[in-house]
Structures are given as C-alpha cells and as structure tokens.
Amino acid sequence: MTVWDPVSFAAVWDRAVAGRADETFLVFETPSGEVVRWSYGDFDESVDRVAATLAGLGAEPGAAVHLALTNSPTFVAAWLAASRLGAWIVPSDPMGRTPELAGHIERTRPAVGLCAGARGDTYRAAASQAGRDDLPVIEIDEADTSLAPFDAAPLAERPAVGVRDRAAVMFTSGTTGRPKGVEVTQANYAFAGKVMAEAADLAPDDRQLVVLPLFHANAQYYSFASAIWVGASVALMPAFSASGFLGAAARHSATCASLFAAPIRMILARGGPVDGAALRHCWYAQNISADQYATAARWFGCRPRQLYGMTETIPAVLTDDRADPHHASMGRVSPGCEVDVQDAAGNSVAPGEVGEVMVGGEPGTTLFAGYLDAPDITAASFRNGWFCTGDRARRDEDGRHFFDGRRSDVLKVSGENVSIVEVESTLAEHPAVLEAAVVGRPDEIRDEVPVAFVVAADVSAPPSVAELDAWCAGRLAKAKRPAAVTLIDELPRTSVGKIRKFLLAEQANHEPS
C-alpha cells in the first residue's frame, strides 16, 4: 500500500504562509473586471477573521459549515478557516434549487451557512425545508474583496487539528441518482496537493488559472491544494467563459490550468488564439478528438495532459506524461498512487484487455474516508481492499490507460457487448460534429440499442441524420450503429460539465422506435 506520512491541510496552509508570506497567493478578477491581489500573509489575516466569525456562530471542531457560493475570495477564506477550526465544509452548487440545498443541509446539519445575498431567499427557504429555521446564515456579496461581513477579532487560540479529522463532505454530481456524500479528511486535501503538485512539476513561481467551480473537487484538489502545497499562486475567475478563457490566461500570466473536455470544446467553438496566452501545463479530463487536441495545443501554448480521478480517489490517480501526452490516454499511475485494472473476480487483466479501474490506498489518508452516514454503501464500494470506480479501461504494455466507459456504459445488443464510448468517439470524429452522447434504449427484439444525441460544430450548418447514419455505417459494426440520431443544441450537463445521461435516456425512451 502507499506509504505517506500524513499531515493536515491546516498545517500545509500554515507552512505556505510561513514560507511565502510576502508572495502572491490569490488574484481575483471580479465580474466587473476589477483585479485584487493578496499575498499569503494578507490572505491569512482574512482567514483568521473568517475563522473567528464562524467560531462565534458555532463552527467548533467537528461542526459543518455549508457553502452555497460561486468562485470568490469568501469561498476560499471560508474553506481555509473551517480547516483551521477543525470544522468541515459542505460545498453545494450555489445555483441549486431549494430541494437540493435542503437535502444537503438536512443531511449535514451545519452550524452556519454562507450564501450570496442575491440568493438569500432561496437559501433560507431551503434551510426551512430542512427543518433548520434556526440556521445562522451569512449573506455575502460574492464580488466583495474586503470580506466585510467577517469582522470578528482574530482567534485567541487555534484548536488542535488531526490529520484524519473530517475537512469536507462533497456530494457527487448525481448524474444517475441521489448524490452520495463523500467524506474528505485533512490528510486527503494535503495528499491531493502533494500528488498533483508533483505530477504537474509545480513550482512556487507557477500560477494556476481556476475557472471551474470551487464547490467541485477538481478546482479544490488539482488547482488550489497543489498551489498551496508548493506556495504557488492562483488566479481565480468568478465563472468559466469559453470566449474569455485564453484572455484571462494572458492577463494574469497563468502558467497552469485544469479543464474538462467539454469546456475545451467550447473554447475551440467560441474562442480563438490570444496573444500572450502561454500555459506551460493544462490538465483535462475525458477524451477530445485528435483534431481538437491539436488546435487546443496551438492555442494554449502547451500540449494538454489528460488525467483521471474521482472525488473519492482524492488526487487524479492517473496522469498523462509531460514529455509525450496522448490525446486519448488517461495516463499512467500518478506518483504515490495505486491503480489496477481487474476482472469481475478481482484478478489483474493482461495488457490490452478491458477491466474495471480499481484504486488502492488508505481510507481517510490517501483515499476518501467513506460515504456520509452510509457504511453499507461504503463497504460495497470496495473489493479486497480496492476501491471500485465503476469505470472500465484497458492498459497497454507501457502502462498507459485508455478509457472504455462506465460499467453501465456497456450495452447488450442482441447478446453482443457494445461500448458507448466507441460509438460516441466515432460520431465525434465527424468534422461537422462538436460532441455526441449515446445512451441505451430498450428494444423488444435486440434487448437494447444505442441511441445518439449530437451537437453540431456549426449550428447554422448541421450534418443531416442521413449523413451521420452513413458515417457510422462505414465505421461501426451493425450492432454498434445508433438506432436513432437526434440533433440537439446542447447536451444537458451538471455544473462541472458531466453529461446528465439519465435525462437523455428518458428522452430516448419516450421517442418512437
């Protein structure tokens, strides 16, 4: 198993402040375009004020702090403040509806909640629905850079923080069902920062550009935690803008970034090369086509590197090579991580064979601690000490991994296994297609059949269904060809770009065969 001497995330932050007090930590560009900078030392003073304010409202060690905030200095300060207090954050989608927010509040029982003043009514309605009319709520202006509501005197004494103390509960995206609460410890955040900094060769003079939402693991694990681990800086944008991404990279002299495949496709569709944008490194998750990769590499100034991870795995356990990245590869095992590809019996599969991606490690240290109030679900997610990701992959003789879909992404068409990923990749290779998603639809004769939803690269000149049918017929076996193709303006997604396939499946099941 992985050998690592765990430290707390609170200690990692304190170390960065001690060693980099006068160096830039955070650059925030407000929605109006104002740019504000903090050194590590200056931001630590804000963290102390926030910590004291939260503590005064009941955020003692072991208590939860609920955050329904967009990307903002307040989010970052509240996260670090909770860590300092030995409390834990519950980050929710700030644009979530009342039932979703109420579910998170009810399940985590926070001592205090933070939300934007503009969404205060929705938030308080959620608290009331959760039976928490007594919940102290701090309403903020997310563009505020003074952190005005946090005016308590600095902490007189800081609580002792343990490496295995809970630091967060992050709810999974819920693309297929009720979200699970992933328990993240202090050591988990520190381990994520260590692994991701080493994988990216991050140095103190690097600057991460963060455009993905902070309530999601990607921005926390891959960007902020890694920057804090080495004392680097972060340029935080309030939201993702496809047309503005490269301009932001240039304005803030960013050297590193992290994206998903979908935002990259959006940048290519709506953006363009920008003078001064010169990233030396960019992570991305999920496949893009070879042509899209080549264009992104030209525009970004570097060859992006794919990675693979989940909220539960903590760091990305697979990361592609810096020297020779491959657009379709999830990469090799990240430093300090353990990954195997196994069959249903728990045996490692040979190179070239498809199996399930399994992740080893120590729960609460190098793997998530468990699912909130769900010991049975936690136990069922492990087999022989390995965490079962549910993702399928094959690896080659050189240790590179290639995604083959979720376990649920394999259709049985007339008894034949059909990989949804292969069908989606074939459609995405069509020059007039921006992206495609495929789901299964029950069929009386063939058990189930693939059904495709396609977004055109140019909405004013979309490909015809007949053209796409012919494209697939020339490249896919009969069982793999979509039984129906539907052109849509955009795919339904979660806030971090994951496709909500259950919505497409519902649509497919209501369409005539």
pLDDT by residue (tens digit) across 210-253? Answer: 999 999 999 999 999 999 999 999 999 999 999 999 999 999 99
Q: Please calculate the CA angle 167-172-176 and round it to the nearest 5 degrees.
A: 165
Question: Helix, strand, or coil here: 490?
Answer: coil
DSSP category for residue 392: E
Q: For the stretch 268-304, what's the b/e string if a residue is b when 16 or more beta carbons lie within 10 angstroms of its beta carbon?
A: bbebeebeebebebbbbbbbbbeebbebbeebbbbbb
> What pLDDT, on the 0 to 100 scale, is given for residue 1?
46
175: confidence class by pLDDT, cuts 50, 70, 90 = very low
The type of residue at 438 is V
Question: Helix, strand, or coil here: 235?
Answer: strand
Q: Indicate whether 511 pLDDT > 80.
A: no
Percentage of the chain beyond pLDDT 90 is: 81
Nearest in space to 68 (alpha carbons), one of 412, 495, 497:
495
pLDDT, tens only, 188-201 = 999 999 999 999 99
Mean pLDDT of 360-365: 98
pLDDT, tens only, 15-61 = 999 999 999 999 999 999 999 999 999 999 999 999 999 999 999 99
**Cβ proximity of 126 and 105 under 8 Å:** yes
Question: Helix, strand, or coil here: 113?
Answer: strand
- What are 80's two structure tokens? 């670090």
- H-run or E-run covering 16: helix 9-20
User: Strand pairing of 112-116 and 137-140?
Assistant: parallel
Mean pLDDT of the chain: 93
- H-run or E-run covering 258: strand 256-260
pLDDT, tens only, 389-434 = 999 999 999 999 999 877 767 787 866 678 788 899 889 999 999 9
Question: Helix, strand, or coil here: 285?
Answer: strand
**Cβ proximity of 59 and 67 under 8 Å:** no
Whole-number Å distance between alpha carbons of 210 and 270: 19
pLDDT, tens only, 254-303 = 999 999 988 898 899 887 899 999 999 999 998 888 999 999 999 999 99
pLDDT, tens only, 148-173 = 999 999 888 999 999 999 999 999 85
Whole-number Å distance between alpha carbons of 54 and 146: 16
Enumerate domains of the chain plus CATH numbers.
Answer: 414-510 (3.30.300.30)
User: Strand pairing of 207-210 and 256-260?
Assistant: parallel
Dihedral angle sign, alpha carbons of residues 441, 443, 448, 451: negative
pTM of the model: 0.85
